[in-house]
Structure 1
Amino acid sequence: MATRTGQDGLSRERIVDAAIAMLDEGGDGALTFRALSTRLKTGAGAIYWHVANKSELLSAATDAILAEALRSDEADTSPRGQIRAIALGLFDAIDEHPWVGGQLSRLASQAGTLQIFERIGQQVEALGVPAGEQFYAASALLNYILGSAGQNAANARVHEPGTSRADLLGAEAAVWTSLDPATFPFLHRVARQMGDHDDREQFMAGIDLILAGISAGR
């Protein structure tokens, strides 16, 4: 399909790329057609020729990020390997573009969410999960992926200027250590892990636990 390009050389792809950059820099609130027009050095009318409104633009920007995130080059082509690749691709995409998590959580019927659910569902079926249980297994994976990835991105945005992730986790671990060990024995045991854990590793451990549960249920 040919790219639709206006007389000023403006294309839908160029508009979407600019919108993604603005969303990365300032979030949903930073994206207005006036600001986008200034960035692209064109009039709002030229943008409307390609995109009807902000909602359509947000959907297009989200779809562009997801298309890249779901392009798996994972060597493991097994259903389990594909699910892990989908999960990690989405985690990294939402970590890099935090606004994507918010877009995916707004409407369960959004094209992007449906695309993810379909990809996961196909692999759940390939795992041999009985038809009557596939919806629940795929839902558990989808909800965990979007919820955990979105929360990780949200946590990254609340850092105070000049505060590193290590500082933030260290402070939280210190709070856990200061709690009464008789009341919070578990938190005392895992405080050190909390203070220096890797977010991607923690996320994928959750995926593996869900997959193990799915396999055990079969």
Structure 2
Amino acid sequence: MQHIITPDPINFYAEQYTTPEDTVQASLNRETHAHVKGAQMISGHLQGVVLQMLSQMIAPIQALELGTYTGYSAISLARGLKAGGKLHTVDIDPYLQEMRDKYWKEAGVQDRIVQHIGEAATVIPKIKGDFNLVFIDADKKNYGHYFDLLIDRIPGGGFMIADNVLFHGEVILPKDQQSNTAAYIHEFNKKIAADDRVEQVIMPVRDGLMLIRKK
């Protein structure tokens, strides 16, 4: 099942008039869907281009991704790094690393990406320096915790992007009809909206992206 909020015809139209998916990411997309469990988690064409353009606009010297999966979104984010910049990406699954490395090399971004394997909350304090851009696409229960761990390490004018913030549309349902995961996401959305250190916008792209800017 794809995690897409917009109706299929609208999503198809948007993809049709968006810069085409390049051959490397298209191949990674196909291989993920053919061989990897949970393929609905991949960012895919439309969201991948959005992430790449946001990264290109921000031009981070150091970026952080929580949730690598097969490495598709890492390619998009790494392409926007400032010259000499690094993307640190964190995942608990070491078994997809051969696949990630293969496609990162093909995309020409392997030297810009540092892979960390482990629980994000444990890994984050071990990475030195601040982050101009953070992409959160890991376990939904801990989104708020990751925000708290990272907000002081993002300089003024820096950005976070949180994925799945509309969670299949369940966030608008009455609480007793929400899944546990949707409830976690709704609490995260409320937490961000109430924090006067940031400003934010939810974009109904794929399963919902929240762009958060530190003031």
Class of the TM-score when normalised by the shorter of the 2 chains? under 0.3
Scaled by the length of structure 2, the TM-score of the pair is: 0.24
Q: As a proportion of its length, which structure holds more helix? A: 1
Scaled by the length of structure 1, the TM-score of the pair is: 0.24
Q: As a proportion of its length, which structure holds more strand? A: 2
The structure showing larger relative contact order (alpha-carbon pairs under 8 Å, at least 6 residues apart) is: 2
Which has the greater radius of gyration?
A: 1
